[in-house]
Amino acid sequence: MSRPFDWLSRQKSVRREALARRLSQGERNDFEYLWDYHARPEQLPPPGDWRVWMIMAGRGFGKTRSGAEWVRMIADNNPDARIALVSSSLAEARAVMVEGESGLLAVFRPEHKPHFEPSLHRVRFGSGAQAQLYSAAEPEALRGPQHSHAWCDEIGKWSLAHERATRCWDNLLLGMRLGKDPRIAVTTTPRAVPLVQRLHAQAEASAEVVISRGSTADNSAHLAARFIAAIGQEFGGTRLARQEILGELLEDIEGALWTRSLLEQARDRGPAVENARVVVAVDPPASATGDECGIVVAGLGTDGIARVLADCSMAGAAPAQWARRVAETAQEWSADRVVAEANQGGAMVESVLRAADQALPLRLVHASRGKVARAEPIAALYAAGRVRHAGMFAHLEDQLCGLLVGGAYAGPGRSPDRADALVWALTELMLGRTRRPGVHPL
């Protein structure tokens, strides 16, 4: 598709410099706001009679800027536009969609900035168009209001509790009845939640839903090298990297105990909760050259919810090394219990851990069932909403999604050592006799 300023990008640098010298200072200042020139093709609205345009791309792709520029275009050209701005919360809508570095206030020329009314959750544009902020956590707020356009940001983060995300979307659709050509722009990281999967399926079946895709690397010229290195180190080599960096929508393995949707639902996005207990669980490797040493930290909050707090697992470590990592992790998190599987070399496991820290609050556990069988009741706790993840643990989550009903493992590596450590930690917190904190008389 040809863009209005493609001819300029094809000119030689000498020609472009000559053209630039002919511009007045005001014209030069305005040039940075010419989105049609600066945008990559996949950041611009696609041609055709689409109803929903979804940008499904990796972190740092420029999704927010694309959504904000689309809204600016609508507001500039349609004084009667009534635009819904929907995010996971009103705070997110304001911080990202309106006031963020790539939000609405940033994409307008200074003299043309819209007027934001925080108390009314409303944005008024100079043309007369208006935008209203909504929270996807309150689906009923979209029951009744009418709109001509909508921008929905990070629908993969919208609350899944009580089907809020799909209810919010359905209420929005029912209110898209103003104007002659109602349209919705969606910007999101591709997470395997019901609403994203629904739109993906609709795009395959109908031209009314169009998807633009892209990766983090597409926007590398505008991203810090340290950010690129950090996400590569954190997610590199995982299936989650394909989601968070490459922008792919991951398919679940048939028969898996954990699905990507279940893990997204378990993301802990609320305020921090005090922990009544903290456990470090260890799945020791059979040898330094064998499997990883799974080391996972989990806490039981005062609200009765268990949270996975950290994955400190390590590969290729000698016993003294992983034992020292366990002792340091227990001290860092003020753990009241260290649970270690002792099926292979129980005496050795205890001796190396005691050598690392004689005072370690150690409890050895022995597995009478296979890893997957032990994992089944823990997966049930996730499904019941009793476990959350305080972060994104790419390698651990890949292993969880590889545990299959029936005892097989189809995840990365030879053995789900990180997942097994998680199972031991949550078993101690949620299925043991001391799983509930209480007050006892002296």
**Domain termination residue (choose one: 180, 202, 235):** 235
- Name the pairing type of β-strands 294-301 and 387-389: unpaired
Do both 210 and 291 map to the same domain? no
Is there a domain that residue 193 lies in? Answer: yes
From CA 358, how far away is CA 362, in angstroms rounded?
9
pLDDT (0 to 100) of residue 371 = 78
- Name the pairing type of β-strands 122-124 and 130-135: antiparallel
Which residues does the chain have with pLDDT short of 70? Answer: 1-21, 23-31, 287-290, 344-346, 433-442
Is there a domain that residue 251 lies in? Answer: no
Do both 225 and 373 map to the same domain? no
Is there a domain that residue 60 lies in? Answer: yes
pTM above 0.85, yes or no: no
* CATH number where 83 lies: 3.40.50.300
Q: How confident is the model over 314-326, as pLDDT tens digits?
A: 998 999 999 999 9
Do both 56 and 204 map to the same domain? yes
C-beta of residue 337 within 8 angstroms of C-beta of residue 364: no
Do both 136 and 47 map to the same domain? yes
Total number of domains constituting the chain: 2
Is there a domain that residue 279 lies in? Answer: yes
**Which residues, in sequence order, are bridge partners of residue 151?**
85, 185
Is there a domain that residue 219 lies in? Answer: yes
Do both 301 and 421 map to the same domain? yes
Do both 289 and 223 map to the same domain? no
Do both 290 and 420 map to the same domain? yes
Is residue 256 helix, strand or coil? Answer: strand
Do both 152 and 65 map to the same domain? yes
C-beta of residue 68 within 8 angstroms of C-beta of residue 227: no
Do both 167 and 47 map to the same domain? yes
* CATH number where 382 lies: 3.30.420.240
The strands making up 294-301's β-sheet, listed across from edge to edge, are: 362-365, 337-341, 275-283, 294-301, 306-311, 387-389
Q: In 10 A of CB 254, how many CB atoms?
A: 8
Range of the domain at 185: 39-235
- DSSP structure string for 257-281: SS-HHHHHHTB--S----EEEEEEE
From CA 123, how far away is CA 261, in angstroms rounded?
33
Terminal Cα-to-Cα distance of the chain (whole angstroms): 77
Rg (C-alpha) for the chain, rounded Å, is 26
Do both 376 and 231 map to the same domain? no
Do both 164 and 279 map to the same domain? no
Is there a domain that residue 44 lies in? Answer: yes
Closest to 171 in 3D by CA, of 140, 197, 131, 147: 140
**Domain termination residue (choose one: 235, 270, 290):** 235
Is there a domain that residue 346 lies in? Answer: yes
C-beta of residue 308 within 8 angstroms of C-beta of residue 298: yes
Is there a domain that residue 369 lies in? Answer: yes
C-beta of residue 211 within 8 angstroms of C-beta of residue 248: no
Do both 368 and 301 map to the same domain? yes
C-beta of residue 133 within 8 angstroms of C-beta of residue 121: yes
pLDDT (0 to 100) of residue 45 = 95
Q: How confident is the model over 207-221, as pLDDT tens digits?
A: 999 999 999 999 998
pLDDT (0 to 100) of residue 1 = 44
